[in-house]
Amino acid sequence: MKIFIVDRSDNNFDNTIELLTNNGFETTFFNKVSDFQKTLKNSRPDLVICNPLIEGMSPFFIVKWIKELDKSIPVIVFSNVPSKDIIVSAKKFAVNGFILFPFNEHELITRINQLLNIQSSESNTSSPNKMKLHLEIIRKERITNEISITIEKLPSFPNVIYEIERLIGSPNSNASDFEIIIEKDQVITAKILKIINSPFYSLSRKITTIKESVAYMGLDSLRSIVYSASVSNLLKISLPTYGYKREQLWRHSYTTAILSKIIAQRLKLSQKESEEVFVGGLIHDIGKIVIGIIAKRENIILAASDDTINIIDKESEKFYFDHCSIGGMISDKWKLPDIHKQIIVSHHSPESLYPFIVAVADFISKDFLDIKLSPLSDDLKQQYLNKLKLTDTDILNLKESLSEIISKMDVDGIFA
C-alpha cells in the first residue's frame, strides 16, 4: 500500500519513513507541493499524510485540492499545536484523521491501520494491548479537543489593553488620550486610582484623575497596572488539581511579577524591560487555568504532599500538554506580544534572559508563599541563580523587598 507524506521540510521524517517501510508501506515524501500534485494526478496513493499549514499557501489548500481531485483518498493531517482553527477546518474539509507531530510511532501505525482496515500482527497476538492503545488514542483526541474548546471559551483580553498598547506605540499620544481610553472601564479606573493613592507612591495629595496618574507613574507602570487589573479576576479562581485555594494562583502570579521586576531592575534593565518581565511574570502560569478546568471534569489531582515529579511531566502524562504549551496557545488567542509568549512558553525551560528572570522569580515566590507544588531541585535552582549572578543573600534581599512592596500595595483588588 502506498502512502504519500507532504510537508515543506523533510527534517525528522527519515524515522517516520523507515517506520512505515518496516510496516510494509511504500512511502514517498514530497517537500514540493507541485511535485506532489503532479504525482497524485498519475498515481493514486492509499493514504496521504500532510501538514495543513504550509508556508506560502492558504490553510488546508492541499487538503482541499486532494478532496476536489478524489474524495475517496483518505487524508491525515498533522500539527504540533492543536488549535481550534485547525480542528474546525479539519472537520470542514472532511479529513479522515488528526495526529500530533512529532508522531508517536504506535499511534501513527494504529491510526493508519484503522483507516485502511488493516489488522497488525501485534494486534493479532495481543488484543488487550490493542484495546488499551486504542482507548488511549481516543482519550488523547478527546482531551486535545477539550483543550482547544476551553481556550476558545476563555474571555477575550479587554480592549483597553490593546488600546493602551496602541497609544504607547504612538509618538503623538498624550495623557489625555490614555484618560479617555481607561475611563471607559470603571473597574480598571478605580484600581489605578487606589494604587496611585496607596503608600507605595506616598504622594502628598490625593490624585483623582487618570491624567494625573499617568503623569506620576509613567506609561510603562500604567501598562503593568492595567494588565494586573485585567487578569486578576481570571487568576483568582481555585485550582484543586494544583492544590490552589481561591486566590492562591493570583497571589503567586502577582508576587512572581513583582519579583521579576525587582530582579530586572537589579540587573540594570530599562524601565520598559522591567515592566515587560512584570507582565510576563504576571501571566506565566495562565495555562494552568485551562488544565484546571479540564482536570475538574476528569477528577484528576496533580498536587501531592510528597511531590518530587516535575509538574511539566505530570501535566504531559495526564493531559498530553503542559501549562507552558497551553499558555502559548492562549497567547495566540489573546494576540499577546512575542516577549510575553516567550516567557509563558519557556519559563520552565529558560534559554534567554527574560524567561530566566521569571523562572527565578517563580521559585522564590513559591518559597515566599510556602507553595510546595513540584519544587525545583537544588541543582536547577543554583543553575538559574548562576545564570543571573544572584547569591543566597540576594534571595533574602529580594524577599525583603517583595514583602515591603506588598505591604504598601495590599489594597482591594490588587493583592488582597
Q: Where is mean pLDDT largest: 2-6, 118-122, 132-136?
A: 2-6
Q: Thinking of the domain 236-409, which architecture would CATH place it in?
A: Orthogonal Bundle (1.10)
| pLDDT band for position 133 (cuts 50, 70, 90) | low
Mean pLDDT across 110-121 = 71
C-alpha cell at 268: 540594570
CA angle 346, 349, 355 (to 5 degrees): 50
Q: What pLDDT score was predicted for residue 249?
A: 92
C-alpha cell at 156: 477575550
Mean pLDDT across 370-396 = 86
- Is residue 397 classed exposed, middle or buried when 0-12, 13-18 and 19+ CB atoms within 10 A define those classes? middle
What is the chain's mean pLDDT, rounded?
Answer: 84
Mean pLDDT across 246-274 = 92
Tell me if 287 sits within 8 A of 235, measured CB to CB.
no
Q: What pLDDT score was predicted for residue 120?
A: 44
Domain limits, the chain: 2-153, 236-409
pLDDT at 361 over 90: yes
Altogether, the residues listed in the chain come to a count of 416
Phi and psi, residue 28, nearest 5°: -125, 130
Q: Which helix (H) or strand (E) holds 340?
A: helix 338-346
- Looking at residue 75, the DSSP 8-state letter turns out to be E
Mean pLDDT across 12-28 = 88
Q: Where is mean pLDDT largest: 188-197, 210-219, 358-367, 404-413?
A: 358-367
| pLDDT band for position 344 (cuts 50, 70, 90) | very high
| pLDDT band for position 415 (cuts 50, 70, 90) | low
Mean pLDDT across 42-59 = 87
What share of the chain in percent tops pLDDT 70? 91
CA angle 170, 174, 178 (to 5 degrees): 90
Beta-ladder partners of 76? 49, 97
Q: Where is mean pLDDT largest: 131-135, 298-302, 386-390?
A: 386-390
Q: What pLDDT score was predicted for residue 157?
A: 79
Q: What pLDDT score was predicted for residue 94?
A: 82
Which of these, 128, 85, 81, lies nearest to 329 by C-alpha position?
Answer: 81
Which of these, 240, 366, 345, lies nearest to 292 by C-alpha position?
Answer: 240
Task: Give Cα 78 distance to the centre of its chain.
Answer: 19
Q: What pLDDT score was predicted for residue 355?
A: 96
Task: Report the C-alpha gap between 330 and 340 in whole angstroms.
Answer: 11
The set of residues, in sequence order, having a beta carbon less than 8 Å from that of 347 and lying 6+ positions away, is 280, 284, 324, 355, 358, 359, 362
Report if pTM > 0.85.
no
The set of residues, in sequence order, having a beta carbon less than 8 Å from that of 344 and lying 6+ positions away, is 280, 283, 284, 286, 287, 324, 327, 328, 330, 331, 336
Which of these, 223, 242, 186, 209, lies nearest to 339 by C-alpha position?
Answer: 223
CATH class of 2-153: alpha beta
pLDDT at 125 over 50: no
Q: What is the pLDDT of residues 139-190, one digit of tens each?
A: 787 788 889 889 988 888 778 888 888 887 788 887 788 888 888 878 788 8
Residue 343, CB-side half-sphere exposure with 13 Å CA sphere: 28
Which of these, 85, 86, 68, lies nearest to 77 by C-alpha position?
Answer: 86
The set of residues, in sequence order, having a beta carbon less than 8 Å from that of 332 and lying 6+ positions away, is 83, 341
Q: What pLDDT score was predicted for residue 220?
A: 77
| pLDDT band for position 278 (cuts 50, 70, 90) | very high
Task: Assess whether the previous peptide bond of 102 is cis (omega < 30° from 0).
Answer: yes
